[in-house]
Amino acid sequence: MKAENDSAQGPRMPAAPRHPGTWQSLAGLWCLTWRSQLSWRKSLAILLHVLGLPLLGYLRASSFQSMGGWMLFTIDLYTFLALPLFCLHSFGGLVRDDLQEDTACYTLTRPIRRWQFLVGQYTCQCLWTCIIVALTYLAFGSMWWLQEVEGWLPVMLGLMSVAVPAILVYGAISSLMGLLTRKYLVLGLIYGCVIEFGVGQIPTNLHSLSMTHHLKDLLALHPEIGAHLVRDSAQPWLSLLMLAMATLISLGVGCLLFTHREYLQAEDMSR
């Protein structure tokens, strides 16, 4: 009777594969991102990043006569130097580190495309970096508050608002460098010296290649910071457009490269 019932019902159709949605994929990658930062070494590095320069500035507070001195220390040393280097270190190994740890191999066996994996990793890392940078600027603001510096709150909010496009563009460029070569740190330093600190200082149209130049235009929108930078933001929307284009182009080229290049068999991925 059982066999007759089974034959009457006909062959069973295989269950349709379940594909994770976009938000489920992002949630999974976000869990991988923040959990990977909980080791004691990385936690110590994050703590040093958040408190290192603010504490150094607090110890040197006697040499800062006004808010201008604090801005010179914060903007020049952190926003335009430490922050790009932090993005280069964090985003450069976005794919390569996971490949060496077999995390990407496990993830890519699931129904997720390579470009989706890269965009998801980039998005999660941007969110994590924004949290770290926001904590750092809050630490700077706390030092200014302890020193009773006037007008520190608008300056801190202005720096935090411009940090978002800075992280997006520096992160996209750094992730592309990481996909181009395993020596992305060297390539990033060369790029920074030649483009950001070299071409960006030339008073011609070539300075449009420098992301630092466009970020300074956005910072100049805030009167307190613009007075320190000694510049007026004549075309802030053009600078914002250039930053967005650089971000999308770098991320798009990275997606194409990661999709069509086999990294697992490359010699530079050998452990």
In the prediction, which pLDDT does 263 show? 65
In the prediction, which pLDDT does 175 show? 94
If you average pLDDT over every residue of the chain, what do you get? 80
Helix axes 83-92, 152-180, angle to 10 degrees: 40
Query: How does residue 111 score in pLDDT terms, banded at 50, 70 and 90?
Result: low
Q: Which residue has the higher pLDDT, 202 or 247?
A: 247
In the prediction, which pLDDT does 174 show? 95
Q: Which residue has the higher pLDDT, 90 or 263?
A: 90
Q: pLDDT tens for residues 27-62?
A: 777 777 777 777 788 888 889 999 998 898 888 776
Q: Which residue has the higher pLDDT, 85 or 58?
A: 85
DSSP letter for each residue of 35-104:
HTT-SHHHHHHHHHHHHHHHHHHHHTGGG--SHHHHHHHHIIIIIIIIHHHHHHHHHHTTTHHHHHTTHH
6 pLDDT above the threshold of 70? no
pTM here is: 0.82
Q: pLDDT tens for residues 114-129?
A: 888 889 889 999 999 9
Work out the average pLDDT over 84-111. 71
Residue 56 CA to residue 72 CA, distance in Å, equals 14
Query: How does residue 269 score in pLDDT terms, banded at 50, 70 and 90?
Result: very low
Asked which of 34-38, 91-95, 210-214 is least confident by mean pLDDT, the reply is 34-38
121 and 174 in contact (C-beta within 8 Å)?
no
In the prediction, which pLDDT does 98 show? 64
- Maximum C-alpha span of the chain: 95
22 pLDDT above the threshold of 80? no
Residue 234 CA to residue 55 CA, distance in Å, equals 35
> Using CA of residue 45, residue 49, residue 51, residue 57, what is the dihedral sign?
positive
Domain residue limits, the chain: 68-264
In the prediction, which pLDDT does 29 show? 75
In the prediction, which pLDDT does 244 show? 96
Q: 184's torsion region: left (phi>0), alpha (psi -120 to 50) or beta?
A: alpha
Q: pLDDT tens for residues 121-162?
A: 899 999 999 999 999 999 999 988 888 887 788 888 999 999
